[in-house]
Amino acid sequence: MDIEIPSELIRRLQKAEHVVVLTGAGVSAESGIPTFQEARTGVWAAYDPAELATPQAFLRNPRLVWDWYAERRQEMEAAQPGPSHYALVDLEQGIPHFLLITQNIDGLHWRAGSRELLELHGNIGRCRCFDCGTYAFGWDEEGAKPPSCAHCGGLLRPDVVWFGEGLPGQQLRAAYRATEQAHLFFSVGTSAGVQPAASLPLIARRSGAYVVEINPHETALSLMADCWLRATPGAVLPVLARWVMPQTEEEDA
Ligand SMILES: [Zn+2]
């Protein structure tokens, strides 16, 4: 059964020129991807995040950090995009100015077909050189761990944002700019607790956007959002997408 969407939200969605969507772990979870904390099982339970996901950890023990991310990468590459991912592709196609900002590193939005996409925390499918920053999109999985940079011989690291690292400035500026222009802002499956992503809904609100939260769990945002849809992203986004797809928008009328 479809969830009931408030008519005010449908009205706003159908006339919105600028829409920004922020996604987080709740969307990845629907594809079976565990959070960082949930993945720390078995041999990994002995390590805390500071030993697996910081530049210091990589300098101290690059092999350990590489192995941790190699396992995560395998897990994420085996996962498939879900209904939320595909609905966001439909929304992108149905809305004149659309931007999807994700905190997820699994690359599933890209694989589903989203192209107006900012991967704020990077993408585990890519690496870059720890020393010179050159990107690498392929490497020998059977060779040295970590593999070396083809350009300078430095060590390759996953192109994800580690604890204690800043977010890529250019991406962050683009996220702020789009958020300030948004008529509608959706916060989807994220606890909205991690800065600077957590500030985006507040900036949207201040700039006059209608802010919608989609989350089965209450977060810091739930009560200040204009509309809180207390449901999983997969139950809501496909319904919303139907309202902006021109060929089907009459269906539910
Ligand atoms: Zn290099």
pLDDT at residue 4 tops 50:
yes
DSSP 146: S
The whole-angstrom separation of Cα 209 and Cα 184 is 5
Which range is least confidently modeled, 21-30, 104-113, 189-198?
189-198
CA 100, 182, 241: angle at the middle one, nearest 5?
A: 55
Report the SS3 class of residue 198.
Answer: coil
The answer to whether the beta carbons of residues 90 and 244 sit under 8 Å apart is: yes
Residue 132 Cα to ligand 1 midpoint, Å, equals: 4
Indicate where the chain has its CATH 3.40.50.1220 domain(s).
7-33+81-121+166-244
By C-alpha distance, which of 90, 138, 135, 150 is closest to 116? 90
The answer to whether the beta carbons of residues 57 and 136 sit under 8 Å apart is: no
What residues contact residue 193 under an 8 Å CB cut-off, 6+ apart? Answer: 219, 220
Residue 160 Cα to ligand 1 midpoint, Å, equals: 16
Residue 149 Cα to ligand 1 midpoint, Å, equals: 5
By C-alpha distance, which of 101, 91, 116, 117 is closest to 239? 91
Residue 63 Cα to ligand 1 midpoint, Å, equals: 17
CATH architecture of 7-33+81-121+166-244: 3-Layer(aba) Sandwich (3.40)
pLDDT at residue 121 tops 70:
yes
Tell me the catalytic residues: 121
By C-alpha distance, which of 96, 95, 47, 38 is closest to 72? 38
Computed from CA positions of residues 105, 111, 114, 115, in that sequence, does the dihedral angle turn out positive or negative? positive
The answer to whether the beta carbons of residues 35 and 27 sit under 8 Å apart is: no
Percent of the chain exceeding pLDDT 70 equals 96
Indicate where the chain has its CATH 3.30.1600.10 domain(s).
48-78+129-160
The whole-angstrom separation of Cα 78 and Cα 159 is 19
Q: What is the pLDDT of residues 136-171, one digit of tens each?
A: 999 998 999 999 999 999 999 999 999 999 998 999
The encoded tokens of residue 27 equal: 């969307």
Residue 135 Cα to ligand 1 midpoint, Å, equals: 8
Q: What is the pLDDT of residues 212-221, one digit of tens each?
A: 999 999 999 9
At 184, the amino acid letter reads L
What class does CATH assign to 48-78+129-160?
Answer: alpha beta
Report the SS3 class of residue 68.
Answer: helix
The whole-angstrom separation of Cα 106 and Cα 119 is 10
The encoded tokens of residue 90 equal: 């439909």
pLDDT mean over 78-95 = 98
pLDDT at residue 132 tops 50:
yes
Per the listing, tokens 């802002």 go with 185
